[in-house]
Amino acid sequence: APRVPPTRLALHHFDSSYSLHLGALWPSVRAALLCEQKYGALLNSFAAADHVPRELQLLNAADFISEAPRKAQHWQQDAAVGEARGCQEGSGEGRTVVQEGMMTQAEMSPPLCTSVSSKIKCYTFPRGDITRFRPARPDALGLLDYYLLDAASLLPVLALNVQPGDFVLDLCAAPGGKTLALLQTGCCGHLAANDVSVSRTKRLYRILHSYVPKEVRDTVSVTSYDGRVWDQMGGGTFHKVLVDVPCTTDRHSATEEDNNIFHKRRTKERQMLPMLQLQLLMAGILAARPGGAVVYSTCSLSPLQNQCVVQ
C-alpha cells in the first residue's frame, strides 16, 4: 500500500475531531492552518533601534498589543447593540445567541501590569496582508532589533501578568520566543528558563546572546531538566510559572512532513501527550509559591490537550 504522509493523517484527524468541536468555525480555521504562516515582529527593547517602529508603521504594520484594548471595547459595544436589538425584536433565540457570545469587560481585557503591556511591542500587518518582515538587523552592540514569531505566542506571556521583581519559571522554554518576551517586560527579578531538550536549549542560548545584553542574561538561569520533576529541584519558589507544553503543534502537523508527530512511528508518543502535559502542569503548580500564578498553554486546538488537561 502507498505510504500515507503524516500531514494527510494529521488533517484527517483534525477534520474528524475539530469539525465536531468547532462546528461551523472549522472550515475557516482549517483554511487558516493551511495558509502561509503570518509572523509578528517582537521589538527588542534592549537594542538601540528607535527607528524601527516608525519604519514598520510606514509599511502599514501596527502594534497589536496596544490595539487590543481598543478592539475589545469596540467588540463589546457591537455585542451590546446586538443584545439590545435582540431584546427589542423579542426573539428568544436571538437573545440566547447574544448572551452566549457576550463577554464581560474583565473577560475581554484581562488585568495586565501596565508596565508589561506598555513595554512589549509586537507589530503585525493587517488582516489579509501576509507581507514578510525583513530579516532582523543588529545594532551597534550586535543586538538584533526584533524577533519574528507567531503573535499569538505573546498571549500567554501577557496573561502571566508579571509584576516587578517576580521570580518567573518558563518550564518548557525552548526555542525561546516566550522567554525573550518575558525579559522584554523588564519585570523579572529572576527568570528560570528550562527545556528537557539539550539541542533546543542551545538554540535558546543563541537567542539570548543575539537579543539580550550580558547584564540581563545574568538574571536568567538556563537548564535542561525533565520539567516533570522540577519540584525536586526546588518547589514553591516562583511567583509566576509558564507551562507552554509540547503538543501536536497543529499548523506544523498539517503542513510539514519533517519531525511530524503524526508519523506512524510516533503514534504512541502522540497518544501519551495529554499525560505528559498533565505531569508538566502539575510540576508547574508545585513550582509556584502560595498565591502565585500558573499559565498553561499549547499551540493545539485539541480539547484533550487543553480543557481536559486543565480540568
Residue list for the binding site: 172-178, 195, 226, 244
* Cell numbers given for 238: 516562583
Strand partners for 193: 170, 222
Give the integer Cα–Cα distance in Å for 50 and 31. Answer: 37
Binding-site residues from annotation for S-adenosyl-L-methionine: 172-178, 195, 226, 244
Which of the following is catalytic: 87, 113, 122, 299? 299
Give the integer Cα–Cα distance in Å for 66 and 72. Answer: 11
Closest residue by Cα to residue 305 from 269, 284, 263, 277: 277
Q: 238 and 168 in contact (C-beta within 8 Å)? A: yes
Cell 543586538, residue located: 143
The yes-or-no answer on residue 299 being catalytic is yes
Q: Which residues contact 276 (CB under 8 A, 6 or more apart)?
A: 228, 245, 246
Give the integer Cα–Cα distance in Å for 158 and 42. Answer: 13
Give the integer Cα–Cα distance in Å for 94 and 117. Answer: 36
Instruction: State which H helix or E strand residue 194 sits in.
Output: strand 188-194
Instruction: State which H helix or E strand residue 293 sits in.
Output: strand 288-297
Q: What backbone torsions phi and psi does residue 165 show, to the nearest 5 degrees?
A: 85, 0
Instruction: State which H helix or E strand residue 92 sits in.
Output: helix 92-101
Give the integer Cα–Cα distance in Å for 284 and 233. Answer: 12
Tell me how crowded residue 270 is: count the other CB atoms within 10 A of its CB: 19
Residue numbers annotated as active site? 299
